[in-house]
């Protein structure tokens, strides 16, 4: 009888995804949910802060439609609210010391999800 192999299960990532454009956040959140992740959305800095007071997340994504000021200040607020939360910033010009990953805003959702999965792998796992 041949040996059976099981596919590794994808881990569900609990994501807080922020944009300032409702259409962008809806479309991208839908793609993340189709990939099996749990996604909470926010449309402003105040909504991000409110969600962080309510719950903890594995990852906070600050999208390209957020203001440059929000993409700069929110990582500090995320880390202050939940120290172990990872932060990914889209459309970041420079690397922020509170941000684990920055990507271009034109990145495909499939590639973004791959980067998210790699970001959340335990240290030392490739």
The predicted pLDDT at position 126 comes to: 44
> Whose CA is closest to 96, among 84, 87, 85?
87
Question: Which domains can be identified in the chain, with CATH numbers?
Answer: 14-119 (3.40.50.2300)
The predicted pLDDT at position 4 comes to: 47
Q: In sequence order, what DSSP letters do the residues of 62-106 get, joined into one string?
A: E-TTS-HHHHHHHHHHHHHH-TT-EEEEES-SS--TT-SEEE-TT
Query: What is the pLDDT tens value at each position of the chain, 126 positions in all?
Result: 555 444 445 578 899 999 999 999 999 999 899 988 999 999 999 999 999 999 999 999 999 899 989 988 899 999 999 988 988 888 755 565 666 667 776 777 778 777 777 777 765 444
Give dist(CA 94, CA 112) in Å, integer.
18
The predicted pLDDT at position 117 comes to: 77
Q: How many Cα neighbours within 13 Å face the side chain of 101?
A: 19
Q: In this structure, what are the phi and psi dihedrals at residue 24, rounded to the nearest 5 degrees?
A: -65, -45
Give dist(CA 48, CA 50) in Å, integer.
5
The predicted pLDDT at position 85 comes to: 92
């Amino acid at each position: 009888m041949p040996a059976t192999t099981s596919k590794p299960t994808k881990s569900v990532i609990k994501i807080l995804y922020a944009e300032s454009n409702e259409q962008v956040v809806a479309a991208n959140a839908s793609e993340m949910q189709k990939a099996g992740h749990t996604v909470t959305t926010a449309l402003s800095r105040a909504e991000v802060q409110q969600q962080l007071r309510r719950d903890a997340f594995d990852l906070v994504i600050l999208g390209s439609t957020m203001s440059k000021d929000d993409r700069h200040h929110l990582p500090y607020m995320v880390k202050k609210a939940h120290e172990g939360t990872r932060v990914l910033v889209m459309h970041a010009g420079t690397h922020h010391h509170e941000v684990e990953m920055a990507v271009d805003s034109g990145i495909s959702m499939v590639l973004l999800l791959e980067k998210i999965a790699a970001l959340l792998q335990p240290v030392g796992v490739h």
